[in-house]
Structure 1
Amino acid sequence: MKPAITLAMAGVTHAMLMRHLFPGDGLEAATVLVCSQSPAPRRRLVVRKAIPVPHEACSYRAVDAIVWPGSYIETAIDVAEREGLTIILLHSHPGGWLDFSEVDDKSDERVIPGIFQAFGDRHGSAVMTPDGAVRARLYSPDMECETVDLVTVGGDDIRYGWSKEIANGNLPRRCLAFTSGMTLELGRLSAAIIGVSGTGSIVGEQVARLGFGHVLLVDPDKVEKKNLNRILNSTLADAENARLKVEMFAEAIEAYRGPVVARAIPLEVGTREAIEAVAQCDVIFCCVDSQEGRMFADKIAAAFLIPLFDVGVVIPTFVKNEMPAIADVCGRIDYVQPGGSTLSDRGIYTPKGLRDEDLRKTDPDAFADEIREGYIKGLQEEAPSVISLNMRAASTVVGEFVARAFPYRQEPNRLYARTMFSLAAFDEDHYAEDDFQHAGDDALLGRGCQEPLLGMPAFRKRRKPE
């Protein structure tokens, strides 16, 4: 069953909460979370800001109770009221009981109505245990309570905490990777595939067959004969009829998964409709060959706290004896966690690259003297035979997701922020999250639906004329 309400936070936020809520003295501690939202219809809250309550500011701290000043709630109201954000009061349960006590219930009955007097139609409370698990609930102004079905953290590992699985105040152990338990859990999650071509179609095929409950396909292009050799499920009839790639692929998924699993968005990712659709997903796979597409994926992941997996392949060439020769056959897989180093930080897209792409679209004559390079750099090739390379890269990027959502590596996942492989050198290199310098510009982090969307004036929602 898909989650009715989700609470998402960045790994860096979760790590900060762990440090503050469990300082080592075995006593309860508190933080106020200010949350924005993903687009409707999904009810998905994203933690924009955490306001820790200093331990020394609390008038009482015990192993099973805490009393802290209301001024920190007032600070949260000042932050949240202008945009109508959601406030969640979070405190720790050092004893490890992942449930709400009678003391917690009575506290909410006293405190939450005061927040509603200020503003809003949904606020809530949450508890956290020393293992990092979080349980949350939301209230309406009349204090009717709703359980937050899923709490997810996009960090070095991707955590999923399902409220319905909590028994006797404890979450069960995570199911093992590659088991039927993993399939069942994926059936409650949604994945966005941006770019459904040579690599993206293979990623989409794996994601659908792994059992994701919802697969969003974003790509504006149509099937052509020249790419039949690398787009899974495409046929000669699709090319002759110039079918949209996403519609062709959604139909293929429906044939073996049934209806309602796949949704086709035949648009560029840099459109409001596509952004709002991707923003409702639990994970993003970016399989485009443009810097602009990667930029939008990067921004969506940050604004809506969604783990992002980016994949690219390239075959560089050189001239040898006046003839073109293969220099390498390689692929790159990047995992971007919200609040960590971005694709921009890693140089995957640059201001110059974005300007050049824009010029190519707006003034193609200015680029007439340059080769439009695809897979094979330095050589024009309409229908490159690259499906084996794409298969390798697509398998690696989906495997990277599995390794983080259902950890099985012998080393920490933090060591695998980037994987690069060379088929020519038969080599594979890995780069840790700490190998990349984060620029520290987190203005988008947890921004959610705040206008303008993604902080870009071009996406400011226009008011309907009265």
Structure 2
Amino acid sequence: MIRHASLAFSAPQHAAVKAHLFPGDGKEAAAILLCSRVVGTRIKLLVQEYLLVSHEDCERHQDFLSWPGDYVEQALGLADQDDLSIILLHSHPGGLFAFSQADRESDAQVMPAIFAGRAKRHKDTIWHGSAIMLEDGAMRAQLYDEHYRAMAVDMVGVYGDDLRFFWVPDRFVPTTTSRPMAFSDAMSDELGRLSVCVVGTSGTGSIVAEQVARLGFGEVILIDYDRMEKKNLNRILNSTLHDAQTRRLKVDVISEAIQSCRSQVSVKAIPTGIGCRDAILEAAMADVVFCCVDSHEGRQICDLMASAFLQPLFDVGVTIPVRQRGPDLFSILEVAGRIDYVWPGGSTLADRGVFTPSSVAAEYLARADAAVHAARVGEGYMPGSHEEAPSVISLNMRAASACVMEFIARAFQFRHDPNALRARTLFSLAACEEEYAPETDFAKAKNLTLGRGIKRPLLGLPSLEG
């Protein structure tokens, strides 16, 4: 997987811009995207704000558009506040999925003015660019550096109840009219262009990592600070007795397993917790995130990343609560799993009560008290008991598979019902029941981190700047 740049939208942003660019009169229209940036192995532009250029202020035709420079000046003023990139976007109602000669000539005139308007106080490398949109929402974009050299944006991602990926047809097979069919070779081919991050590589995480690797993701980022122990061997895939005896890092065990079965894959093993700034910046480069941790703090970080970096987030959890009925007698109350799908701009894990400020604080205090922390870790999957090595791989398999299938269903639609009805899945193996909650079931608080990228403090948490 060799990619240079991508552009990410939340679905509501994309829908609002699309409605403006295609008012139904068959004429071109314009908007300006203001994007934060994440720069690592490639450039990621994240739509933070947008300006809609009034139709009345433009000269509009089916294959020609002219609009006043006042809007560019307004965009420059807004972009200067957070050092944002500016993308000039217009529609192609005629269906041309390419930049015309007129588009290139316009860029040659406007881009120098945009770069000249950048404040001198911003020292980091910046890119501005242009983009086009077709009536079905398909997009392609290109970026310019300060020397006005053009670079194609490989993929434009639109993330909501459904996941849409628009690839530059010069390098990738066009998918503007239809998505690849689920479970097909075409699906595997597209996954080979995407990057996935698995946060937590223990019980459910090792199983999720196994699946995304064998499905064909081009890059797999693994994040976990922990080392192998003998008690892990009954639930971590590909682990061996030697791994436990030598206390190998879990991410190294999983990374080695992935590379032993696939040649065309890039694996990054990050041996820290997700609460580390460096780990967050590595995770920021992923197109999709799977959260497989059992801590409130870890889920909070993943939740904030999904908003800040416009990433689809799939969170999985399992539990087997028990009740003590005597000195050495326990009974199982439930065998359950939960899968939450969070799209940037939708309800968050915080909105859904998966964690709360008080639960994150309580977890921090427990870590500070070694005895309390050890007791909670000892309970692990089975609150109310003291099973140190519970035999939960079958439950983990069920939950991890449902989590990855949730991604497939949204990226390569195959469900009979709309994906919006499946924001949360709860299953009970004790009661043999499965329940679903739609996105509309969850009230959304104001999201202050949406599209903010790596603006300081990172994720809005001063503790990450220490």
Answer whether contact 1:371 1:380 (CA < 8 A) is retained: no
Q: Which residue matches 1:91? A: 90
Partner amino acid, structure 2, of 1:435? D
> Are positions 1:398 and 2:398 aligned together?
no
Q: Cα offset for 1:319?
A: 4.5
Give yes or no for the alignment of 1:40 onto 2:40: yes
Q: State the Cα deviation string for residues 290-339 of structure 1 (Å, max 9, x = none).
A: 00000000111111111100000011223457842111111000110001
Quick check: 1:157 aligned with 2:162?
yes
For residues 334 and 172 of structure 2, what CA distance do their matches in structure 1 show? 53
In the aligned structure 2, how far is the partner of 1:172 from the partner of 1:145? 26
8 Å CA contact retained: 1:186, 1:213:
yes
Distance in 2 of aligned mates of 1:124 and 1:393? 42
By how many angstroms is 1:261 displaced? Answer: 2.2
8 Å contact from structure 1 (residues 39, 279) kept in 2: no
Is 1:55–2:63 an aligned residue pair?
no
| Aligned with residue 418 of structure 2, among 412, 418, 443 | 412
Note the C-alpha offset of 1:289. 0.3
Shift of 1:198: 0.6
Query: Conserved in 2, the CA contact under 8 Å of 1:97 and 1:170?
Result: no
Which of 249-258 and 213-222 deviates more?
249-258
CA distance in 1, matches of 2:173, 2:421: 35
Match of residue 464 from structure 1: none
C-alpha distance in 1 between matches for 2:455 and 2:283? 16
SS in 2 for 1:202: helix
Compute the TM-score of the two structures, normalised by the length of structure 1. 0.93
C-alpha distance 109-338 of structure 1, shift in aligned 2 (>3 A):
same
Return the alpha-carbon distance in structure 2 between the equivalents of residues 192 and 370 of structure 1.
Answer: 27
SS at match of 2:19: helix
Structure 2 letter corresponding to 1:431: A
1:438 aligned onto 2:437: no
Give the match's secondary structure for 1:112: helix
SS in 1 for 2:203: coil
| Match for residue 293 of structure 2 among 288, 291, 296 | 288
Distance in 1 (CA, whole Å) between partners of 2:175 and 2:319 is 47
Residue 121 of structure 1 and its aligned partner are, at CA, apart by 4.4
CA contact (8 A) 1:37 1:46 kept: yes
Q: Does 1:242 align with 2:241?
A: no
Which amino acid in 1 is paired with 2:152? T
Post-superposition shift, 1:453?
1.5
Query: Per-residue CA shift, 1:318-361, capped at 9, x if unaligned?
Result: 34578421111110001100011000000011011001100011
* Alignment partner, residue 121 of structure 2: none
Matched residue, 1:134: 139
Residues 184-228 of structure 1, C-alpha deviation per residue, up to 9 Å, x if partnerless? Answer: 111111111100001000000001111111111111111111111
Check if 1:389 corresponds to 2:388: no
Q: In the aligned structure 2, how far is the partner of 1:180 from the partner of 1:207?
A: 15
5 Å matches for 1:253-332? 253-258=258-263, 261-319=266-324, 323-332=329-338
In the alignment, the residues of structure 2 paired with residue 131 and residue 167 of structure 1 have an alpha-carbon distance, to the nearest angstrom, of 19
Distance in 2 (alpha carbons) for counterparts of 1:315 and 1:243? 28
Secondary structure of the structure 1 residue equivalent to 2:169: helix
Instruction: String of CA shifts for 1:225-278, please: whole Å, max 9, x gaps.
Output: 111100001111111111111111111111111386221111010001100000
Residue identity in the other structure for 1:100: F
**Farther-moved stretch of structure 1 (80-89 vs 334-343):** 80-89
Q: Does structure 2 retain, via aligned residues, the 8 Å contact 1:165–1:171?
A: no
Task: Indicate the SS of the match to 2:320.
Answer: strand
> Matched residue of 2:321: which SS?
strand
Residue 11 and residue 170 in structure 1: after superposition, are their counterparts in 2 closer, same or farther (change >3 A)? closer
- The answer for the alignment partner of 1:77 in structure 2 is 76
1:65 is aligned to 64
State the distance in 2 between where 1:340 and 1:8 align.
Answer: 15
Secondary structure, aligned partner of 2:135: coil
Taking the aligned partners of 1:39 and 1:105, their CA distance within structure 2 comes to 25
Structure 1 match to 2:28: 28
Shift, 1:20, TM fit: 1.8
Alpha-carbon distance in 1 for matches of 2:314, 2:449: 18
Query: 3-state DSSP class of the match of 1:159?
Result: strand
**Mapped partners of 2:238, 2:374: distance in 1:** 34
What do the CA deviations read for 1:119-167 (whole angstroms, capped 9, x no partner)?
Answer: 2742111111111111111123343222111111111111111102689
Can you give the 5+ residue segments of structure 1 that lack an aligned partner in the other structure?
Answer: 462-466
The one-letter amino acid paired with 2:96 is W
Matched, 1:421 2:427: yes
Q: Gaps spanning 5+ residues in structure 2: where?
A: 119-124
State which of 232, 237, 248 in structure 1 corresponds to 2:237. Answer: 232
RMSD across aligned positions (CA): 2.2
Distance 1:213 1:67, change over 3 A: same
* CA deviation after TM superposition for structure 1 residue 40, in Å: 1.7
Superposition TM-score, scaled by structure 2 size: 0.93
Distance 1:357 1:167, change over 3 A: closer
> Aligned equivalents of 1:138 and 1:61: distance in 2?
25
Q: How far has the Cα of 1:24 moved from its partner? A: 2.5
2:276 and 2:377 map into 1 onto residues whose CA distance is: 27
CA distance in 2, matches of 1:428, 1:87: 45
Q: Deviations over 1:374-424 (max 9, x none)?
A: 111211110111100000000000001111111111111111111111111
The range that moved more, 191-200 or 324-333, is 324-333
Q: How many residues align?
A: 459
Counterparts in 2 of 1:66 and 1:217: CA distance versus 1, 3 Å: same
- 1:207 partner letter: V
